[in-house]
Structures are given as C-alpha cells and as structure tokens.
C-alpha cells in the first residue's frame, strides 16, 4: 500500500497494518488487538481498529488476491445450473477441484457458447495447463467438447 492510502491518519502505516494482520489472520477480537498494542506502549481504542479494518481490508484483499494460490489439482469438475436471483433466472457456471474447493464461478443471463467460453477462459487463466484437458461428458447431452475446442 502506498503512503497516500494512510494520509491523515494519526498512526504510522506499520501500526495500522499490524492491526489488520493480527485481526485478519488470528481469532482475536478488536479488544484483544487493542490490548496487544497497549502492551507495546501504543494506545488505540478497539473502535479505531474496527474502522481501520472496514476501510483497509477490501483494499488489502484486492492487492493480495493475486498472491493467493488455490491448488487446482489435475482433476476439475465444471458444473452448469439454472438459478433464480432476485426474481430473474441466470446460468451459474462453476469450476470445482477434486477436494470440493470452488476455483471460480460465473453468472450469465444467457446460456450460449460465448458465455461458456468466457468462463473457461477466465478459470484457466490463473492455472497453467501442462497438457490438453481431458473432457468427460458424464450423462450430459450438451456439447462441452465443442466449446473447449475453440
């Protein structure tokens, strides 16, 4: 994060980042983080730490997202279903690894080749593919092989 992100704050950026790290990575409350800082000679009220977390957590999550790695494994399952969201019907595409972790998902108002292609392009981007994917069409009468062959 840049120094301009911490402009007009009463505490050094390092202290704010310590609080965010402690609260975000451990099962501690804002009061516990405040007590830890007090032990180190820094007086910060727990509501201040709460406001820092509300302000900076989304920014940190966005910046750290590219460094997080979800193990993709060699076996994925792609799922497509039709769901209703706020009274409107959408197609939900999901990619799941063999451990059940969702790798990515994609909402589309239309079910067509372009929507499936956009999802596959997006889900394959962060995971390098060493060899051509093997497509198993289990009981589905659709044509995913044609979509992947683009």
Do both 93 and 60 map to the same domain?
A: no
pLDDT in tens, 119-145: 888 887 776 666 656 656 555 555 555
Quick one: pLDDT at residue 146? 52
Do both 144 and 80 map to the same domain?
A: yes
Quick one: pLDDT at residue 138? 59
Do both 119 and 55 map to the same domain?
A: no
In sequence order, which residues have a C-beta less than 8 Å from that of residue 65 and are 6 or more positions away? none
pLDDT in tens, 65-119: 766 665 556 677 888 888 888 888 888 888 887 777 788 888 888 888 888 888 8
Quick one: pLDDT at residue 33? 93
Do both 34 and 95 map to the same domain?
A: no
Quick one: pLDDT at residue 107? 83
Give the SS3 label for residue 92.
strand
Place of tokens 């997006």: 122
Q: What is the DSSP letter of 67?
A: G
* Dihedral sign (CA 123, 125, 126, 132): positive
For residues 131 and 21, which has the higher predicted lDDT (pLDDT)?
Answer: 21
- Using the 3D structure, point to which of 46, 67, 88 is the last residue of a domain: 67
Residue 80 CB burial class (10 angstroms; 0-12, 13-18, ≥19): middle
- Using the 3D structure, point to which of 49, 67, 85 is the last residue of a domain: 67
Q: What is the mean pLDDT of residues 8-21?
A: 87
Per the structure, the complete domain to which residue 112 belongs is given by 76-127+134-148
**What are the C-alpha distances in Å from 125 to residues 64, 100, 118?**
17, 20, 11
Quick one: pLDDT at residue 60? 84
Counted domains in the chain:
2
């Amino acid at each position: 994060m840049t120094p301009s992100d911490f402009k007009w704050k009463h505490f050094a950026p390092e202290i704010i980042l310590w609080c965010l790290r402690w609260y975000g990575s451990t099962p501690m409350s804002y009061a516990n983080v405040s007590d830890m800082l007090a032990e180190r000679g820094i007086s910060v009220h727990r509501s201040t730490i709460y406001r820092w977390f509300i302000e900076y957590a989304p920014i940190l999550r966005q910046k750290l997202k590219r460094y997080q790695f979800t193990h993709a494994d060699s076996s994925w399952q792609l799922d497509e279903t039709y769901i209703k969201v706020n009274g409107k019907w959408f197609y939900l595409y999901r990619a799941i690894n063999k451990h059940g972790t969702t790798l990515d998902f994609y909402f589309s108002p239309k079910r067509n080749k372009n929507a499936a292609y956009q999802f596959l392009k997006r889900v394959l981007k962060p995971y390098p593919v060493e060899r051509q994917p093997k497509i198993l069409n289990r009981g589905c009468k659709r044509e995913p092989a044609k979509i992947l062959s683009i």
